[in-house]
Amino acid sequence: MHFITRETKYEEPTEPYWIWDAMTNNVHESGLQQPTKPAHPAAPGTSDTSQPTSPPADYQGYNPKIHGSYDPNAPYAQYHKQKRAEEEALSNPVSGIVPAASTGEYAAVGAFNRFSGRFQTDEQSTERHNDFNKSGRQMNSFFDVDAAANSHEGKSLKEERRQQRLTKKEVAELKQKRREKKEKKRMDFYKS
């Protein structure tokens, strides 16, 4: 069995076979085993379940001359209703579970963690572990991240500051403050 994919290479023989019992050092008492698979399997990529199922023998379909106006609860509509439900279920997986095509048996397909082997839903996917979602969960324990992000109605404060145009007088004042700051640092260095 493959460790990661959990696939096995064992295939049941196509001819009748005996099961060897190591405890008795003889053939198992269940006798000759008949193979469950046919001797000539279908071509790869094809299966009986993938082919559309034919309608029941008594199904005649909707005929406006016979049935009049279309009734979704009538027997002629039930066949198509069931087919549509199956197609929707296959196209819209819910929380990691995809119902298999109904073949008369119960079957379901799920997503499993490759390391632990446990079943996992969509909310446990790799999307949960990216940097954005992790930091959001960590910050949520201290404050409301969504409220903080939407506090400015989606406007970018950086963009607002970029669009502000300073007058010549304000620019001159900022330059003067910068010069004074530099001069103060230089003088502090000389005094020390």
Contact 134, 111 (CB under 8 A): no
* Nearest alpha carbon to residue 60 among 34, 86, 79, 85: 79
* Nearest alpha carbon to residue 34 among 14, 49, 52, 50: 14
Range of the domain at 176: 152-191
- 4 within some domain: no
- 46 within some domain: no
Per-residue pLDDT band at 32 (split at 50, 70, 90): confident
Among 102, 126, 161, give the residue marking a domain's end. 102
- 168 within some domain: yes
CA atoms of 48 and 70, how far apart (whole Å): 32
Contact 146, 152 (CB under 8 A): no
- 191, pLDDT greater than 70: yes
| Cα separation values, 179 from 143, 146, 156, 183, Å | 40, 41, 31, 6
Amino acid letter for position 148? A
Structural domain total, the chain = 2
The residues pairing with 17 across neighbouring beta strands, listed in sequence order, are 33
Write down the pTM of the prediction. 0.23
Contact 101, 93 (CB under 8 A): no
E strands of 14-158, at which residues? 20-21, 26-27, 98-99, 108-109
**Range from 7-11, 29-33, 117-121 that averages highest in pLDDT:** 117-121
Q: pLDDT digits over 134-187, tens only?
A: 998 898 889 888 888 788 777 777 888 888 888 999 999 999 999 999 999 999
Among 42, 70, 102, give the residue marking a domain's end. 102
* Ramachandran sector of residue 107 (left: φ over 0; alpha: ψ -120 to 50; beta: rest): beta
Q: pLDDT digits over 33-56, tens only?
A: 777 766 555 555 555 554 556 666
Higher pLDDT, 64 or 73: 73
The residues pairing with 109 across neighbouring beta strands, listed in sequence order, are 98
- 93 within some domain: yes
Quick one: tokens of 70?
A: 């279309």
